[in-house]
């Protein structure tokens, strides 16, 4: 990672400029070229420096719903259950925790009813009862991690 990569990552954490040609404006700001910045973002994704690049939507404002959920998965079934969850389009991501509830995941669905249906499907598919942890309050945190 060179200095331009660092400045690009730091700048992108604050979002793209809200103009007709955001990548061109960003290139001018960073003293680079639009095509080079796009190539760099792709290279940072390809080499694992960035795990994701994309918009953040307020799913509830769009009529959808999401929840945090967990499963207590027997260790010998962990990889199999992870693959089952990974195959479901509503599962945004899942990860291991060192806890009795050792598999945590986020569901993002088009409706609140679909959350309930997806949790029921997960229970039917895995034989494990999900712990549903819906959001109670929204907090907006301006997280910025300079590199």
Contact 96, 78 (CB under 8 A): yes
Domain ranges of the chain: 3-46, 65-133
Query: Within 13 Å and on the Cβ side, how many CA atoms surround 117?
Result: 10
pLDDT in tens, 88-114: 999 988 899 999 999 999 999 999 999
Residue whose C-alpha is closest to residue 32's, from 6, 4, 10: 4
Q: At 122, list the tokens.
A: 């997960």
Q: Compute how many other C-beta atoms are within 10 angstroms of the C-beta atom of residue 60.
A: 12
Whether 126 and 74 have beta carbons less than 8 Å apart is answered as no
Sign of CA dihedral 73, 76, 82, 83: negative
Which fold would CATH assign to domain 65-133? Alpha-Beta Plaits (3.30.70)
Over residues 27-73, the pLDDT tens digits come to 999 999 999 999 999 999 999 999 888 887 778 888 889 999 999 99
């Amino acid at each position: 990672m060179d200095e331009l990569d660092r400045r690009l990552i730091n700048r992108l954490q604050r979002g793209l400029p809200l103009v007709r040609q955001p990548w061109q404006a960003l290139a001018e700001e960073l003293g680079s070229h639009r095509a080079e910045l796009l190539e760099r973002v792709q290279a940072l994704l390809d080499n694992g420096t960035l795990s994701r690049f994309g918009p953040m939507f307020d799913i509830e404002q769009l009529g959808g719903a999401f929840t945090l959920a967990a499963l207590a998965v027997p260790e010998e079934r962990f990889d199999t259950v992870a693959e089952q969850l990974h195959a479901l389009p509503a599962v945004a991501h899942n990860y291991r925790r060192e806890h009795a509830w050792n598999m945590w995941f986020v569901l993002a669905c088009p409706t609140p009813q679909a959350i309930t249906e997806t949790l029921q499907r997960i229970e039917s598919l895995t034989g494990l009862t999900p712990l549903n942890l819906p959001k109670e309050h929204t907090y907006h945190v301006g997280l910025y991690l300079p590199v």
